């Protein structure tokens, strides 16, 4: 691994040890990296000779905010970060009364193909490294000057399609010598990669698992989420029940309401039937219009919520933030890509 910031503290200590450094150096460097230094020269208590050796052996990459949009409606901030290789990903800072939440990306693009999602339109370019996921939190915090207390892995990409990096990121961001953000303040959202859900369950983390359900019946779900053809919703519900048995953690189900597709009462009834016996929370999301998609927002949010509640389920309607700044998944990156494309075409 030639990325110091992706290393756990023991790994970092060992790498420095191999360079002839004392054990305490690992902790010093770890702390600096997690503070978001732009250059190794900022590490005041680390000898100059070592700083130079590190710069040579492990070039330090920091993301550059190439675009930043601030919502006039609610102060939501959207960042488009350029990574060392020129690829871009998005993060969103959302301000709530209970603290600041940052939504981070886990991949450049996405290969899951959900019909309503802007992130997946051009497919997946590559996975992010643990450091690149972590940097989104560090640099959002630095840029905004405000502490981040919660993290949601709900940006571009499918976290369980890059699970090794994501698990490492979780360990890093949770570390007391780093940002020290508690697992209970972290949510991970998946479109339903069952082997990943199982692995995550084995890890018995205290984070909140969010499952992008979007339809409780195979037929509808396969139409809007190709992943359902590989991992059917029936198996997904089973995996969720097992996850709860293993971790004791309540699962959150995301449900983007699409007009005439998944907003029928019988679908609410089916959700209730499938979730019986499992503490859960259904989060109804007003569908964000994506220019490339024919799917339209449902007008039945309140009725659907009532129907779910009539079965004793907890259902909430997600408050939409940043409506004026392309704040939903992948929209800003798409816009930037399109503009770059137009620029090239006109040359
Ligand atoms: N790949 C992960 C996490 C990223 S998407 C997943 O699928 O869960 C975060 C959430 O936004 C998911 O629930 C996703 O289905 C939802 N989403 C994507 N596009 C949307 C849109 N146009 N309107 C509303 N929700 C959308």
Q: Ligand 1 pocket, 228 CB below 6 A?
A: no
Element housing 55 (H / E): helix 48-57
Q: What is the mean pLDDT of residues 185-212?
A: 97
pLDDT band at 347 (very low <50, low <70, confident <90, very high): very low
Of 345 and 31, which is predicted with more confidence? 31
Q: Ligand 1 pocket, 288 CB below 6 A?
A: yes
Edge-to-edge order in the sheet of strand 208-212 = 64-70, 77-82, 88-96, 99-103, 150-153, 186-190, 208-212, 251-257, 280-286, 315-317
What is the 3 state secondary structure string of 211-241? EECCCCCHHHHHHHCCHHHHCCHHHHHHHHH
- Which residue minimizes the CA distance to atom 5 of ligand 1? 154
pTM of the predicted protein model: 0.94
Q: Ligand 1 pocket, 329 CB below 6 A?
A: yes
Domains of the chain: 4-57 (1.10.150.530), 64-345 (3.20.20.70)
Q: How many CB atoms are located within 10 Å of the residue 227 CB? A: 23
Whether 339 sits among the annotated catalytic residues: the reply is no
pLDDT recorded at residue 20: 95
- Tell me the pLDDT of the chain averaged across its residues: 94
- 119 C-alpha to center of ligand 1: Å? 9
Q: What is the pLDDT of residues 303-329, one digit of tens each?
A: 999 999 999 999 999 877 666 666 565
pLDDT recorded at residue 344: 53
DSSP state of 199: H
- Which residue minimizes the CA distance to atom 1 of ligand 1? 158
From 254, 289, 290, 298, the mutation candidate for ligand 1 (largest count of ligand atoms within 8 A of CB) is 254
């Amino acid at each position: 691994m030639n990325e110091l910031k992706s290393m756990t503290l023991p790994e970092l200590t060992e790498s420095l040890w191999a360079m002839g450094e004392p054990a305490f150096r690992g902790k010093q460097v770890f702390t600096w990296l997690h503070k978001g230094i732009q250059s190794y020269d900022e590490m005041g208590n680390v000898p100059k000779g070592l700083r130079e050796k590190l710069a040579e052996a492990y070039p330090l990459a920091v993301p550059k905010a190439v675009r930043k949009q601030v919502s006039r409606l609610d102060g939501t901030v959207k960042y488009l970060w350029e990574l060392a290789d020129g690829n871009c990903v998005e993060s969103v800072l959302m301000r709530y009364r209970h603290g600041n939440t940052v939504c981070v990306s886990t991949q450049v693009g996405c290969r899951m193909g959900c019909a309503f999602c802007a992130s997946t339109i051009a497919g997946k370019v590559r996975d992010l490294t643990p450091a690149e996921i972590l940097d989104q939190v560090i640099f959002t915090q630095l840029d905004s000057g405000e502490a981040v207390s919660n993290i949601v892995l709900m940006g571009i990409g499918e976290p369980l399609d890059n699970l090794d990096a994501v698990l490492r990121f979780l360990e890093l961001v949770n570390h007391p010598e780093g940002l020290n953000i508690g697992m209970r303040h972290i949510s991970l959202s998946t479109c339903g990669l069952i082997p990943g859900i199982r692995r995550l369950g084995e890890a018995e983390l205290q984070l909140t698992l969010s499952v992008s359900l979007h339809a409780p019946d195979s037929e509808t779900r396969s139409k809007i989420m190709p992943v359902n053809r590989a991992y059917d919703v029936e198996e997904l519900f089973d995996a969720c029940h097992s996850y709860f048995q293993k971790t004791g953690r309540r699962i959150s189900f995301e449900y983007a309401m699409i007009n005439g597709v998944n907003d029928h009462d019988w679908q609410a009834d089916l959700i209730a039937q499938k979730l019986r016996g499992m503490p859960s929370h259904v989060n109804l999301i007003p569908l964000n219009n994506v220019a490339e998609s024919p799917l339209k927002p449902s007008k039945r949010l309140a009725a659907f919520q009532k129907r779910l509640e009539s079965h004793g389920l907890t259902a909430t309607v997600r408050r939409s933030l940043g409506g004026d700044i392309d704040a939903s998944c992948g929209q800003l990156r798409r816009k930037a890509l399109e503009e770059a494309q137009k620029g090239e075409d006109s040359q």
